[in-house]
Amino acid sequence: MQNASDQKNEMEELKRKPAEEDKVLQTRKKAIDRELAEVEPLVRAAKSAVGNIKTESLSEIRSLRAPPDTIRDILEGVLRLMGIFDTSWVSMKRWVFAVKSYLRESQRYIEICRCIRFIACKFYHREYN
């Protein structure tokens, strides 16, 4: 009889744990959605700004012997987001040259942006417009 009571208590505990974990996950999801809502306008603005980058500007950045801290921080963040963890100035200059080449092929660049947007929408379970 005691064994059945122990098993019943254990089953109730096992049922309670997923419900508690679900509450925690829902709270985290709400926090992430709030953060995402704050970041999305910034991402849109950045995307728009990237479309206005001129190859001359990239050439100027690439010609610097050592970048200003702001440029270095931005490029380091972009490289890390892309999975490139070598953030030396040499690596950054290589990447800027590659971006410059892509910008020359604007149609290809636009298609890459569309692909990134599509993947991001799928990742965040949003509609692709």
| pLDDT at residue 82 in the model | 76
64 and 117 both lie in a single domain: yes
Please state, in angstroms and rounded to a whole number, the distance separating the CA atoms of residues 66 and 59.
14
Pair 106, 112: CB distance under 8 Å: no
48 and 60 both lie in a single domain: no
58 and 14 both lie in a single domain: no
| pLDDT at residue 12 in the model | 79
Dihedral angle, C-alpha 112, 117, 122, 123, nearest 10 °: 100
| pLDDT at residue 50 in the model | 66
102 and 92 both lie in a single domain: yes
Q: What is the pLDDT of residues 31-82, one digit of tens each?
A: 888 888 887 887 777 767 766 777 777 778 778 888 888 888 888 887 887 7
118 and 63 both lie in a single domain: yes
- Residue 50: HSE in the Cβ half-sphere, 13 Å Cα cutoff: 19
Q: H or E element: which one contains 87?
A: none
| pLDDT at residue 91 in the model | 85
Q: What is the pLDDT of residues 96-122, one digit of tens each?
A: 777 777 666 655 666 667 777 777 666
